[in-house]
Structure 1
Amino acid sequence: MPFSVVTAVVYIIVFIVGLLGNTLVIYVVIRYTKMKTVTNLYILNLALADELYILGIPFLGTNSVLSYWPYGNFLCKVYMTADAMSQFASTFCLTVMSIDRYLAVVHPVRSAKWRKPQVAKIFNGVVWVVSFLIVLPVTIYSHVQEEFNACNITWPEPHDLGSIVFILYTSILGFFGPLVIICLCYLLIVIKVRSASVRAGRTKRRKSERKVTRMVVIIVLVFVLCWLPFFTTNIVNLVHIIPENNTNAAVYFFLVILTYVNSCANPVLYVFLSENFKQSFQKVLCLHKPNYVSSSSQMGGSEAASKEKCMPVLPPRNHTQNGKMPSIQETVQMEVSDDLELQKPS
């Protein structure tokens, strides 16, 4: 099968999965939470950034299949700017969410005044402003190169210096710097939960450690696996020029598509791992049988069936044990559980 056909098929699959996944996330957050919670506002912003990144696939795919840019100079600038902005915005969203998780779990009381929807909206706006400022050089210097008929960046003289500086500072700001912050946040979360779990008992310790460790491993590993090869290759290419041939072209295509896979994976990481979001998705798609409140004896059979269709009743959360208020240590565990499972849909 020709490489161009394989490229087109892969791009189509990733585009459909990423577009549907992130669109469903956006709909669920808006439909069921009314954008009232801090966590859901960050999730919404992340989904918007990932969706914008995914929307660039048709342009990239067309250019790859045709081997030239058919959309003109203006759309070249728009595509390059939106693509770069969404990359940084997505990474910054992950970073802000990690900081928010750290504050919620490690400093739940002191951070209460900062963890408000109004503040989250401001940070979400800052993410996009900072992303745009970082990629301003892309907007200025990107255009359709006549000699190659390709949409790319042409740096001013000396060309090599501009390319080196851009790759280094985008790699640091767009990957390595945020990765350090993300890892540090979750490391501190694990330390806090481990300490609280020791006081709360071995059973609670195992449960909370399992939840937090699984979340940390998935978030960090997927983020690193999808982006590290791409940024590493760009940096290596500065030191040793990678020759252009069919094999290297295929490898580079794989590295690029991996970054889009990360945007497809984010709905899974931040939504499907939450039972509450699973139930919201199931309500939207009517994929599961509802838990009926009572038998049909409480209302007419046909009336009960019509009212209960696609309306599952969520089980109540009970924060007391044997009629007693939870201890301080138990409260810490509940805070961890609530933060990891996010908010229930309203």
Structure 2
Amino acid sequence: MSETTAGYTVTVTMKTEYDYDEYFEGSDYYSLCDSRGTMDFSRMFITVLYSLVFILGLIGNVLVVCVLVKHRNQTTLTDICLFNLALSDLLFIIMLPLYTDYTVVKNWTHGDLLCHFAGGFQRTGFFCSIFILVVMTLDRYMVIIHGTKVAKYRTMRTGVALTVVVWSLSLCVSLPAFIFTKETKEPNGPGCRYEPENKAWKVYNISANNILGLVLPLMVMILCYSRIIPVLMRIRSSKKQRVVKLIVSIMVVFFLLWTPYNISHFLIFLQSDYNLIDDCDSIHNVKLSLIVSETLAFTHCCWNPIIYAFVGQKFIRRVYLLLSSWVPGIKRSRRDSSNSFSRRSSAASRSSESTLTM
């Protein structure tokens, strides 16, 4: 640009540099392309789905916790794992109203401190769930492959020790999320997103998601069940098969829900750092895939009680017994369930399998 001042011609060169990272970070993922349609879809889709997930997940997981606590005298190592799985789901669930409000209002109105906790609890719940699934897989492997050799080690003390290890490890892995998820300034007002100090922590976040949260657990489960399934086909133990069926169902649902999110998040990371996508249609599709996959992934916290209901016969009976003590209107169901339960009480008392799966 040229300007004439007091007979002199002054040439002024103006250079503007844009930081495109902000368009691919956080919950809104602003971009130079028009994304208003994507954001409108996001608000409607997330609000409806998160509301349903919150209600179903809260009721279902509270029932799981209550059933396990009520029958704690019959608790096994598998029950302890299922108890911690329900707690990790509840930790995830209590954050959903915050995300729903953030999506509807388009501003983070809960302060910086709660933003730190929301990001940290979300990550802790995710890693705790996956670590518990790994423990349950290894436990099934030891029981079925090595049998009575490990029976004496499957005690309440072992379960408590594993609980401490799993939660401690989950908190340690999630510590950067507690630190770097913070209130930020966005075009529409305050936001809440993972904002690391340097690129190394961004790489850590992606690596932890995909390596600790996907690749390594999947490898462990494939290796273990490649040995477990042939053994079960030979011995045909109905009790062991029910427990394995429950655990495999939980794992399949978990990976089906979380794998698309991890892949979408990885693509966003590559785009923000290496600009692999340069057309608006592709950018729109990537953002839309992240919104949908993230929302579906967050629904995992309400699926486990549904799986228990379909796979675990004893779980349904004990839910009836529990609800009958709270709601007088289902006394009849209690008597029916009690009669059914009493016919099998002898075998159940001798069983070393899960409280929820018999």
TM normalised by structure 2 equals: 0.74
What is the RMSD of the two structures over their aligned residues, measured on CA atoms?
A: 3.1
Q: 2:261 aligns with which of 209, 215, 230?
A: 230
Deviation of the 1:269 alpha carbon = 2.5
Partner of 1:151: 192
Alignment of 1:71-110 (within 5 A): 71-110=110-149
Counterparts of 1:55 and 1:237 in 2: how far apart (Å)? 27
The 3 A distance-change label for structure 1 pair 208 and 51 is closer
Contact 1:35 1:41 in 2 (8 A): no
Counterparts of 1:288 and 1:226 in 2: how far apart (Å)? 38
Counterparts of 2:242 and 2:124 in 1: how far apart (Å)? 32
The 3 A distance-change label for structure 1 pair 39 and 288 is farther
User: Could you tell me which amino acid in structure 2 is paired with residue 48 of structure 1?
Assistant: L
Spell out, residue by residue over 1:64-110, the C-alpha distance to the aligned partner (whole angstroms, 9 max, x if none).
Answer: 11112111111111111111111111111111112112222222211
Deviation of the 1:309 alpha carbon = 8.2
Alignment of 1:199-214 (within 5 A): 211=242, 214=245
Q: 1:316 aligns with which of 344, 347, 353?
A: 344
Contact 1:194 1:209 in 2 (8 A): no
Counterparts of 1:187 and 1:194 in 2: how far apart (Å)? 12
Counterparts of 1:115 and 1:189 in 2: how far apart (Å)? 18
Q: Is 1:273 the equivalent of 2:311?
A: yes
Contact 1:290 1:312 in 2 (8 A): no
Alignment of 1:27-42 (within 5 A): 27-34=66-73, 36-42=75-81
Other structure's SS at 1:155 match: coil
Other structure's SS at 1:343 match: coil
Deviation of the 1:285 alpha carbon = 2.6
The 3 A distance-change label for structure 1 pair 100 and 285 is same
Q: 1:129 aligns with which of 165, 168, 174?
A: 168
Counterparts of 1:66 and 1:51 in 2: how far apart (Å)? 24
The 3 A distance-change label for structure 1 pair 290 and 165 is closer
User: Could you tell me which amino acid in structure 1 is paired with residue 307 of structure 2?
Assistant: L
Question: Gaps spanning 5+ residues in structure 1: where?
Answer: 198-203, 292-307, 320-333
Greater CA radius of gyration, 1 or 2? 2
Deviation of the 1:256 alpha carbon = 1.4
Partner of 2:86: 47
Partner of 1:7: 46
Q: Once structures 1 and 2 are overlaid, which stretch shifts more, 247-256 or 94-103?
A: 247-256
User: Could you tell me which amino acid in structure 2 is paired with residue 178 of structure 1?
Assistant: P
Partner of 1:343: 355
Alignment of 1:125-274 (within 5 A): 125-148=164-187, 149-157=190-198, 159=199, 161-197=200-236, 211=242, 214-215=245-246, 218-241=249-272, 248-270=286-308, 272-274=310-312
Partner of 2:64: 25
Deviation of the 1:213 alpha carbon = 7.5
The 3 A distance-change label for structure 1 pair 196 and 6 is closer
Deviation of the 1:44 alpha carbon = 0.6
Identity, % of aligned positions = 26
Deviation of the 1:267 alpha carbon = 1.6
Deviation of the 1:211 alpha carbon = 5.0
Other structure's SS at 2:192 match: strand
Partner of 2:12: none
Counterparts of 1:232 and 1:247 in 2: how far apart (Å)? 13
User: Could you tell me which amino acid in structure 1 is paired with residue 70 of structure 2?
Assistant: R
User: Could you tell me which amino acid in structure 1 is paired with residue 137 of structure 2?
Assistant: S
Partner of 1:118: 157
Contact 1:186 1:216 in 2 (8 A): no
The 3 A distance-change label for structure 1 pair 67 and 118 is same
Other structure's SS at 1:110 match: helix
Contact 2:76 2:156 in 1 (8 A): yes
Spell out, residue by residue over 1:212-236, the C-alpha distance to the aligned partner (whole angstroms, 9 max, x if none).
Answer: 7854653342122101101111222
Contact 1:49 1:89 in 2 (8 A): yes
